[in-house]
Amino acid sequence: MGQRVAIYCRVSTADQSCERQERDLTAFAGRAGYKIAGIYKETGSGVKLDRAERKKIMALAQARHIDAILVTELSRWGRSTIDLLNTLRELESWKVSVIAMNGMTFDLSSPHGRMLATFLSGIAEFERDLISERVKSGLAVAKARGKKLGRQRGQRPKSDRLAPRVLALVAEGRSYRLIGRELGLSKNTVSDIVQRNRNAIVAREPNR
């Protein structure tokens, strides 16, 4: 029996079509004797974070339902060098390869594929260092211009945003603990919100 593969096609904009990628990859799978487990298509730019179809393929790989992923080019699969490396590492742990029709192929079952993954790891590390350096440089420039960074003293963005809901639930007689659990706040934070807005509470609070 041939390897089980998932075909992944992606285009960047809605006016483009995955038809050519699907046709070429299906033909490629037939020539190689692969068994197609599914064809997954989506539209989104390379930096788009929410790739629902790619997530489905990763779930198949983790469940060991496929042996490889077919793409026309690695750029169709990875959002960036770091993203590509991270997904390749996950796939390697599940013994699943990414096979590209054009350019580099990461057949992680072969020494050549593992060597390329190691090489990519070095590039990704360099990219991470560059990003870190740019962030530090940007923060230094902002600080030199007198800009205050991070949350300032007295600022409570989350609790201030949720204060109306907290007060409404208190008025309904909910306990601080249950309110905190429902809204993702600590009991103490709920209590602080109540203390700051006591005049806005129109119902008598139950004993706590």
pLDDT in tens, 40-60: 999 876 555 578 899 999 999
Please give the CATH superfamily to which domain 4-111 belongs. Resolvase, N-terminal catalytic domain (3.40.50.1390)
Q: Provide the residue ranges of all domains of the chain, joining segments of one domain with +.
A: 4-111, 157-200
Read off the pTM. Answer: 0.55
Query: Would residue 132 show up in a list of annotated catalytic residues for this protein?
Result: no
Q: Phi, psi (5° rounding) for residue 160?
A: -65, -35
d(CA 74, CA 61): 17
Question: CA dist 45 to 16, 49, 199, Å?
Answer: 12, 9, 50
Of 12, 17, 45, 132, catalytic: 12
List the pLDDT tens digit at each of the 208 positions of the chain: 578 999 999 998 888 899 999 999 999 999 999 999 999 999 876 555 578 899 999 999 999 999 999 999 888 888 777 788 788 878 888 889 899 888 766 666 677 766 766 766 666 666 666 777 777 777 777 777 776 655 555 556 677 778 888 888 888 788 888 888 888 888 888 888 888 877 555 444 454 4
Supply the DSSP symbol for 106: B
